[in-house]
């Protein structure tokens, strides 16, 4: 398995242009947020029956789905895991409140599509292909890399 620094170094190769970086700082967290929203949109009847709670905030498929990337993150670094755990919980809470005002599934699809359009435009400007086309694990590295960059500022 690659080290965290190897992941970050390889990811950074296709993220040098200032416009592309700015786009990534916005779009990568939005994509993560929208994916959490999509998982929260899955009816949670089975989970609610299993746990005995039907609140979208406390029982949802996003909690189950987030286990897998969080295991990936903890294997890389405890700090990365903690950052992503906090961001994941923020996404769950924000998606819950968003769901009180709009259809969460529709909103998540719109955010997801617009954010990916931004990402591909950023890579067009950069002149380099997105890293995930080489290795799908970069889809998990992207959010961690963005938060690492933010933490260093």
pLDDT tens digits, 94-107:
999 999 999 999 99
Q: At which residue do the structure tokens 């617009």 appear?
A: 114
Q: What is the mean pLDDT of the chain?
A: 89
User: In this predicted structure, what is the pLDDT of residue 51?
Assistant: 55
Q: Is 85 exposed, middle or buried (0-12, 13-18, 19+ CB in 10 A)?
A: middle
Structure-derived torsion over alpha carbons of residues 66, 42, 134, 24, reported in degrees to the nearest 10:
-80
Instruction: Give the gyration radius of the chain's Cα atoms.
Output: 16
Q: Is residue 12 in a domain? A: no
pTM of the prediction?
0.89
Residues constituting the chain: 153
Q: Is residue 10 in a domain? A: no
Domain ranges, residue 27? 18-152
Q: Is residue 117 in a domain? A: yes
User: Based on the structure, what is the number of domains in the chain?
Assistant: 1
Identify whether the C-beta of residue 80 lies closer than 8 Å to the C-beta of residue 70: no
Q: Is residue 1 in a domain? A: no
Q: Which two tokens stand for residue 138?
A: 């970069």
Inform me whether the pLDDT recorded for 117 exceeds 80. yes
């Amino acid at each position: 398995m690659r080290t965290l620094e190897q992941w970050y170094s390889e990811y950074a190769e296709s993220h040098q242009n200032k416009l592309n970086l700015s786009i990534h700082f916005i779009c990568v967290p939005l994509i993560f947020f929208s994916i959490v929203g999509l998982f929260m949109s899955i009816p949670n009847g089975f989970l609610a029956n299993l746990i005995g709670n039907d609140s979208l905030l406390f029982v949802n498929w996003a909690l189950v789905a987030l286990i897998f990337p969080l295991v990936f993150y903890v294997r890389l670094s405890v700090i990365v895991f903690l950052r992503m755990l906090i961001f994941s919980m923020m996404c769950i809470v924000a998606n819950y409140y968003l769901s009180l005002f709009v259809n969460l599934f529709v909103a998540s699809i719109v955010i997801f599509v617009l954010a990916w359009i931004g990402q591909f435009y950023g890579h067009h400007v950069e002149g380099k292909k997105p890293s995930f086309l080489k290795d799908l694990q970069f889809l998990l590295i992207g959010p961690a890399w963005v938060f690492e960059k933010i933490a260093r500022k």
